[in-house]
Chains A and B, each alone.
Chain A
Amino acid sequence: MPVELSQMDQEMLDGKHGPATRLAMRIIARMADVYGAAELMDISQAHIDGVGLLSESGLEFAETLARQGGRVRVPTTLNMVPLDAAHWQEQGIPTDLAAKALRQIHAYTSMGCIPTCTCAPYQGYLTPRFGQQIAWGESNAIVYANSVLGARTNRYGDYVDICAALTGRVPKYGLHLKENRRGQLLLRLVDLPAKLLHDDSLYPVLGYLLGRIAEDRIPVIEGLPADATREQLKALGAAAASSGAVALFHAVGVTPEAATLAEAFQGSQPEQAHCVDIHRSDLLAARAALSTAEADAEIDAVVVGCPHFSYAEIQQLATLIQAHPGQRVHPRVRFLLITEYGAYSLAQRSGLLDIVTGFGVQIAHDTCTFHSPVLPPSVKVVMTNSGKQAYYAPGELGVRVVFGSLADCVQSAIAGRVVREESIWQ
């Protein structure tokens, strides 16, 4: 059954609001048919992932919409972009690639998008409210918005995100509707020591495992501490949205739609077949699976800030660096910190930036190792504290990876080879 359009939807489809809005509405309406949605609904905010990847077709799509006079109808933020506009020359980015990247960014800003240029749009400007209907791209942002903020978005892929922004409409379907946000399987954390539950490095590992088990279902985690931080939940979601297609998780007593187990399952009981106990041995196996290089490998690079570091995470890194007075990043190792412009500016103002760069850390903002050649091809072994980076880097960058905590990353950067504190996992 084809989607039923409102009068305004029909006007957009008929071209009464210009050719760009018409193209955007055609794609939205066709996606509604794909979903089997009966009607469309309003969204009040959008986040554009389609600006991140630089491809000829993506550039052509954006420039077509911009040339046809497209204007966003709701506040719209941009995901990280294909280059760091401030540092691309010193990063050795070829001029032709930079020119295309700048054209792509310009196409989106000319349609009214706000150049936040971050994959962590929930960290600052225009953070959505509980229950707000939004259309977000970028898998880690989607899972954070749904799970931690309680805003409502489906997994919007590249290019439908800008269509939602240009029309202010999406198919009424999926996670926009409360009844579809009920937990679908229960993961119980058993026999985990309190120290591990509070350690940052647990969260990417648990997220990786969560994605593997849940695939595209909605998992409910029981046993996470109530004081799990925003950064820990961010790391968990980013990994779960990499190894699986998780768009929403609940953590009992932690996330806003799961004050109790009953609330997470909206009053129903999880079936026994959908209950999984997570033991320390499972986490050890998941932690091992996140690394593809041997445990004592020499490293060429350390990458932190995937997703983009918050100010709090830069602060954490500075504190770890200050615990090693007089020591610096090994001359062979490139230590790359990726962040967003807001956190970068604050760190510059507070002096944190001097501490991290004094240690030998290179900073990039607005972009990402996967969408901009910020790591030279000579880099073969990468250490990271990010489950998402560890998951994708072997395929995307052709490197071997080692996963470790942020403290392990600092120690390893000094030593030039992998140094990991294992006691927390014993």
Chain B
Amino acid sequence: MAIVAPPSGPEAKQARSRAPRGARERAISGRAVVPGSAEGIALVTTEPISLWGGLNAQTGEIIDRRHERSGEIVTGRVFVLPQGRGSSTASAILLESVRTGKAPAAIINLRLDPILALGSIVADELYHKPVPIVLLSQADFDSIREGDHVSIRPDGTVRIRREKSHPRRSWRL
């Protein structure tokens, strides 16, 4: 059932553009599963997570104690994870986190996760606040690092800015 995003190919523009001195910015294109605009600092994991039993919608904390990012806060971050897992209640947790204001700014996935898309679509229909979701190819997905500044456009364009001196994988809010 997993659908992998189309390979980015030559049409995926890898461009340096105007960015602050000491930073590098590039743009890649993905599939906008739930279109929208958002930006935030990347919170990256390669391990799937079920939001039900995995995310506290009142605090934004990852509470799956078996998960590698247990204890992190997703609020306002661009949550980069391959896909969700397990419970079909994940959509309800994503919706509730939108209501409480603790949702991630956006989600970037490697494989289509219909349950996450559903939570975001219901948030759009009920509160007019979708959580944009973009699917990326494996290579593009792997290229995003913890702490990158990521912005997302409704057409699925993802712009990534990385400070040259940015510490890798040690970002904490």
Contacts and interface: CB of A to CB of B under 8 A. Distances in A.
- Tell me which of B83, B86, B88, B123 has the highest count of chain A C-beta atoms within 10 A of its own C-beta: B88
B2 A158 contact: no
B85 A34 contact: no
B53 A157 contact: no
A58 B53 CA distance: 17
B114 to A, nearest CB: 6
A50 B117 contact: no
A283 interface: no
Interface stretch (B63-71, B143-151, B164-172): B63-71
Given A31-B121, A56-B99, A244-B85, 4 more contacts: A34-B118, A49-B89, A57-B99, A60-B126
Interface in B81-112: 83-93, 95-96, 98-99, 111-112
A160 B118 contact: yes
B139 interface: no
Interface string A181-218: 00000000000000000000000000000010001100
Given A247-B1, A395-B53, A157 B90 contact: yes
A160 B91 CA distance: 9
A56 B126 contact: no
Contacts of B117: 31, 34
A81 to B, nearest CB: 13
A159 B33 contact: no
B91 A158 contact: yes
Interface string A23-58: 100110011001110000000000001101101111
Interface of A: 23, 26-27, 30-31, 34-36, 49-50, 52-53, 55-58, 60-61, 64, 137-139, 142, 154-160, 174-175, 180, 211, 215-216, 241-245, 247, 370, 392, 394-396
A215 B87 contact: no
B107 to A, nearest CB: 13
Contacts of A36: 3
Contacts of A211: 86
A211 B66 CA distance: 15
Contacts of B123: 57
A139 B54 contact: no
A396 B92 contact: no
B122 A35 contact: no
Contacts of B85: 215-216, 244-245
B119 interface: yes
A159 B1 contact: no
Contacts of B52: 53
A35 B95 contact: no
Nearest to B67: A395
B98 A57 contact: yes
Nearest to A392: B53
B48 interface: yes
A276 B140 CA distance: 31
B80 interface: no
A28 to B, nearest CB: 10
